[in-house]
């Protein structure tokens, strides 16, 4: 049947325990690297840090990103997230500087969206709800504002044009995931509905791109003075509307579900660990007060970085639940990985050209020889003295390392701080633990994250 799906062990995937199953397979086999042939394709699945480092960093040039390129093309064309070689290099060079400049200003633009979020939660009057849905809303609202200068505002409106953009964007991703999993058969999945949604999204983005291209430079300058708008900065680098569209959508695609995933898994753990919740609350109140309006300006990019317990909690959520829990590369020539061969698995193995190398970040982050016997437990304190090296890479590594790492950490930190300030009490109602997960592309909670906030 389908190519990738078989690799992903359909049954466990449907039940939401695929990642656990693969972790257990590594542990019971006492190995970190497994090689197999699936439909005549060589496949290597590895959670070894040296091997992962090799395929995404030190031997970068020997690998391609594989099917991702074709699967994502209908939405993001040649944008950074789906391109390789010279094209990718040009994208990366153009986008990288934009990400260092936004860091400071990003914080202020978050507050209005948090207020919308808090208003919706208050309306629930202490009833339980799925906070994962709200994290998906707030992250598309904040990223659309940052990217286009106008927010989807899914947290305020029930059915307007901008909400439809968000809806179409969600639906398109389901098909893109399907394409990704079909591998070389990606073209099979291409419904009329899908094409319609793609057109809707492209039209909406084109509207903002055209507007930016028509606006005089001084006007743009003015507008991005109080608010950093990615598009307005980018038109200084290129005036090609297709390039602008591809890059903006790449960033939206790369940044939205990943950040929502981090927050959802963090709050799942916080709702189960009253001790951690209290300690985090103390830490936050000590640094930033309890959220009165005159205290809000204390929450800056710099001051959040100094909030150590918050940092530990976020690291621990990223460790146990890396939003990109598996990543894939395909070898472009005969090469080797440094580990997995020999009697003890500590010598190199041969990687024939065309091998799919699946990097199991989820298992890499749970190695007992690095993290100890409690590797599967949520314990933020472990970060006090931890130097995990190649056993922690939620944002990847090497030349394609995540461009939005600071953006994501800033946003997740800010939202967490504001939630604990505004709602001091949390309870969770998520009986299944470890939680069932959907992890075809980015990882999310299959049953949501059910909490009450007061
Ligand atoms: C917790 C949140 C996030 C996680 C865990 C994450 C993780 C990753 C990972 C693992 C990669 C590397 C993919 C690969 O090597 O194949 C990546 C790439 C990327 N990320 Fe993120 N990301 C997050 C949030 C964001 C945000 C918020 C943005 C933008 C606002 C962003 C923008 C990008 C871009 C543009 C790339 C492609 C870089 C390239 O190919 O050169 N990410 N991300
Ligand atoms: C793999 O990449 C490294 C560094 O880019 C290079 O030195 C090496 O020769 C490559 N291996 C093969 C088999 O081409
Ligand atoms: C991202 O989240 C949206 C909204 O919850 C969902 O519809 C979409 O399928 C997700 N995309 C991926 C790649 O998981
Ligand atoms: C993704 O995973 C879920 C459950 O883990 C599965 O039921 C579903 O069919 C998969 N989606 C796609 C598009 O293959
Ligand atoms: C690559 O390795 C295969 C053996 O798996 C061999 O038959 C082939 O000649 C090699 N190709 C090159 C270019 O070395």
Domains (ranges, CATH) in the chain?
2-453 (1.10.630.10)
Atom 13 in ligand 4: which residue has the minimum CA distance? 178
CB-ligand 4 contact for 9 (6 Å cutoff): no
Which of these ranges, 162-171, 409-418, 434-443, has the smallest mean pLDDT? Answer: 162-171
Confidence grade of residue 355 (pLDDT, cut at 50, 70, 90): very high
E strand intervals along 265-372: 326-331, 335-341, 347-351, 356-360
Q: What is the DSSP letter of 342?
A: S
CB-ligand 1 contact for 393 (6 Å cutoff): no
Half-sphere exposure of 373 (CA within 13 A, CB side): 0
- For residue 367, the model assigns a pLDDT of 97
Q: Write the pLDDT tens digit of every residue in 219-251.
A: 877 777 777 889 999 999 999 999 999 999 999
- For residue 220, the model assigns a pLDDT of 78
Question: Which ligand is the nearest neighbour of the Cα of 42?
Answer: 5
Average pLDDT on 297-317 reads 94
- For residue 386, the model assigns a pLDDT of 94
Atom 3 in ligand 3: which residue has the minimum CA distance? 170
Which of these ranges, 158-167, 261-270, 437-446, has the smallest mean pLDDT? Answer: 158-167
Higher-scoring residue by pLDDT: 320, 292: 320
Please indicate, yes or no, whether the overall pTM of this predicted structure exceeds 0.75. yes
Measured in angstroms, how far is the CA atom of residue 88 from the centroid of ligand 1?
Answer: 14
Q: Is residue 175 scored above 80 in pLDDT?
A: yes
- For residue 294, the model assigns a pLDDT of 84
Tokens representing 179 are 């394409």
Q: Is residue 5 scored above 60 in pLDDT?
A: no
Specify the residue for token string 């994290």. Answer: 135
Atom 8 in ligand 4: which residue has the minimum CA distance? 14
Q: Is residue 183 scored above 70 in pLDDT?
A: yes
How many CB atoms within 10 Å of residue 34?
A: 17
Measured in angstroms, how far is the CA atom of residue 437 from the centroid of ligand 1?
Answer: 20
| Cα 35 to Cα 135: distance, rounded to the nearest angstrom | 38
């Amino acid at each position: 049947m389908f190519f990738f799906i078989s690799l992903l062990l359909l049954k466990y995937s449907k039940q939401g325990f695929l990642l656990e199953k693969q972790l257990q397979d590594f542990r019971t086999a006492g190995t970190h690297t497994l090689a197999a042939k699936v439909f005549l394709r060589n496949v290597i699945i590895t959670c070894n840090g040296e091997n992962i480092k090799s395929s995404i960093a030190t031997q970068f040039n020997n690998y391609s990103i594989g099917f991702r390129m074709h699967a994502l093309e209908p939405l993001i064309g040649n944008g950074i997230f789906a391109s390789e070689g010279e094209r990718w290099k040009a994208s990366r060079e153009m986008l990288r500087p934009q990400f260092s400049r936004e860091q400071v200003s990003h914080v202020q633009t978050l507050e209005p969206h948090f207020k919308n979020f808090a208003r919706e939660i208050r309306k629930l009057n202490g009833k339980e709800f799925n906070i994962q849905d709200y994290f998906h809303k707030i992250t598309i609202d904040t990223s659309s504002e940052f990217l286009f200068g106008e927010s989807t505002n899914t947290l305020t409106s029930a059915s307007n044009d901008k909400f439809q953009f968000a809806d179409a964007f969600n639906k398109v991703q389901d098909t893109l995931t399907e394409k990704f999993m079909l591998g070389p058969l990606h073209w099979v999945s291409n419904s009329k509905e899908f094409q319609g949604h793609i057109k809707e999204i492209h039209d909406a983005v084109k509207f903002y791109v055209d507007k930016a291209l028509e606006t005089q430079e001084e006007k743009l300058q003015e507008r991005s003075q109080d608010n950093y708008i990615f598009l307005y900065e980018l038109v200084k680098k290129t005036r090609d509307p297709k390039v602008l569209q591809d890059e903006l959508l790449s960033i939206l695609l790369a940044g939205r579900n990943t950040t929502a995933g981090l927050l959802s898994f963090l709050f799942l753990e916080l709702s189960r660990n009253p001790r951690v919740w209290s300690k985090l609350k103390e830490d936050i109140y000590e640094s930033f007060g309890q959220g009165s309006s005159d205290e809000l300006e204390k929450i800056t990019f710099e001051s959040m970085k100094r909030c150590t317990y918050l940092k530990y909690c976020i690291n621990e959520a990223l460790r146990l639940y890396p939003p990109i829990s598996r990543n894939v590369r395909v070898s472009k020539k005969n090469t080797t990985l440094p580990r997995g061969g020999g009697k003890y698995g500590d010598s190199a193995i041969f990687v024939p050209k065309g091998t799919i190398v699946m990097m199991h970040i989820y298992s890499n982050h749970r190695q007992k020889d690095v993290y100890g016997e409690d590797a599967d437990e949520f314990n933020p304190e472990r970060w006090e003295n931890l130097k995990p090296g190649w056993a922690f890479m939620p944002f990847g590594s090497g030349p394609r390392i995540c461009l939005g790492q600071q953006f994501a950490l800033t946003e997740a930190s800010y939202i967490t701080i504001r939630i604990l300030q505004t709602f001091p009490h949390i309870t969770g109602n998520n009986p299944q633990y470890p939680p069932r997960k959907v992890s075809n592309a980015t990882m999310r909670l299959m049953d949501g994250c059910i909490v009450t906030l007061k």
